[in-house]
Amino acid sequence: MLKHLYDTDCVTWSPQGKLFQVDYAMEAVKQGSICLGLKSNDFVVLCSLKRQPSELAGYQEKQFKIDDHMAIAIAGLTADARVLCKYMRTECLEYKYTYESHHPVGRLVFKVAEKSQHKTQSGAKRPYGVGLLVAGIDPNGVHLFETCPSGNYYEYKCQAIGSRSQAARTYFESWFHLFEKSTLEQLILHGLSALKKAIMEDEELNEKNVEVGILGKNQKFIHLNAQELKDYIVKLETFNANTQIQQE
């Protein structure tokens, strides 16, 4: 009950040193359907579970290309994600126009974080209610970043955000040491395995509600099509991370 005293706006601290509005914004991310990302030496893979508002509706897309070398997966308020997506795309286009090269990934994530932080220090604004997983490749290597409504950003080897993401993270904790040297196919299967851990008992993965995007050093960002998704979901039945250890 006391929480409600200091949570009217972003310009009020709580006695415990918290900005409740920012915390509440992070909750919005946790309510969104799960999306996860993992990387090897050469590839980054993004997997998401698409939500369907009703039987009559389509599935909400969760992965967006920012540039040939960069893509995002979102969890939270899709409308806020659209704003950030447009911003990132514009920044990449301008950078390419001026420097004739791809926008360094970390620097763009930093710009997004700056923008997000700005919204947490004003009486009249609210934080973005969306978390992004930014996958990108630049001369510094293969990257996976997470951005938060708070304006913080972190780089990861693999990460999951959104609803029931802890289950996926637990899977990652057990197997992430294999990812670096994994092939693309193994990486996708790991991603789908982690996703499988995070779905409810009565749900199942199919080519309609799963979205997989891949990005590589020589591979522009691309979504797997329905047939490829079906094939991978079938392969998932016989995939076992243990077999990968035996191969190495």
Partner 1 sequence: MYIPVNDMLKHFKQDAPAMANITHKSDQWSPYHDNSGTVLAVGIPGAVIVAGDTRLSNGYNILSRDATKLSQLTDKCVLATAGQYADFIALRKFLQQRLQLYEFQNEVQASTETVAHLLSRELYSRRFFPYYTFNLLAGLDENNHGVVYGYDAIGSYDKMTYGVQGSGQELVVAVLDNQLKGYNKINKTIPQTREEILDIILDCFSCAAERDIHTGDNVEILIITAAGTERIVKPLRKD
Region of 29 (left: φ > 0; alpha: ψ -120 to 50; beta: rest) is alpha
Helix (H) or strand (E) holding 171: helix 165-175
Please identify, among the stretches 88-96, 154-162, 193-201, 219-227, the one whose residues bind partner 1 according to the rule CB under 8 A.
88-96
Q: Any long-range contacts for 96-100 (C-beta under 8 Å, 24+ apart)?
A: 96/67
Q: How near is the Cβ of 53 to partner 1 at its closest, in Å?
A: 21
Residue 171 Cβ vs partner 1, minimum distance, rounded to whole Å? 33
Q: Which range binds partner 1 by CB under 8 A, 2-10, 43-51, 91-99, 207-215?
A: 91-99
Query: Is 97 one of the binding residues for partner 1 (CB under 8 A)?
Result: yes
Residue closer to partner 1 (CB basis): 97 or 247: 97
Residue pair 144/133 in contact (Cβ under 8 Å)? The answer is yes
Helix H or strand E encompassing 157: none
58 interacts with partner 1 by CB under 8 A: no
Contact between 111 and 140 (Cβ < 8 Å)? no
Q: Using the rule CB under 8 A, is 89 a contact of partner 1?
A: yes
Q: How far is the CB of 214 from partner 1 (least distance, A)?
A: 19
Q: Is 226 in the site for partner 1 (CB under 8 A)?
A: no
Instruction: By CB under 8 A, tell whether 96 contacts partner 1.
Output: yes
Q: How far is the CB of 128 from partner 1 (least distance, A)?
A: 20
What long-range pairs does 104-107 form, CB within 8 A, spacing at least 24? 104/138, 104/139, 104/140, 105/69, 105/70, 105/134, 105/136, 105/137, 105/138, 105/140, 105/143, 105/145, 106/138, 106/140, 106/143, 106/145, 106/155
Q: How far is the CB of 9 from partner 1 (least distance, A)?
A: 34
Residue 78: half-sphere exposure toward Cβ, Cα within 13 Å: 10
d(CA 1, CA 26): 19
Give the nearest distance from C-beta 175 to partner 1 in angstroms.
Answer: 35
Neighbours of 167 (CB within 10 A): 17
Task: Kindly state whether residue 223 participates in binding partner 1, applying the rule CB under 8 A.
Answer: no
Residue 126 contacts partner 1 per CB under 8 A: no
Residue 202 CB, nearest distance to partner 1 (Å)?
33
Whichever of 99 and 154 has its CB closer to partner 1, that residue is 99
Task: Single out the residue of 147, 76, 158 nearest to residue 117, CA to CA.
Answer: 147
Cα 30 from Cα 95, distance rounded (Å): 32
Count of residues that bind partner 1 according to CB under 8 A: 5
Q: According to the binding rule CB under 8 A, does residue 93 interact with partner 1? A: yes
Candidate ranges 89-97, 103-111, 116-124, 173-181; the one touching partner 1 (CB under 8 A): 89-97
Give the binding site for partner 1 (CB under 8 A): 65, 89, 93, 96-97
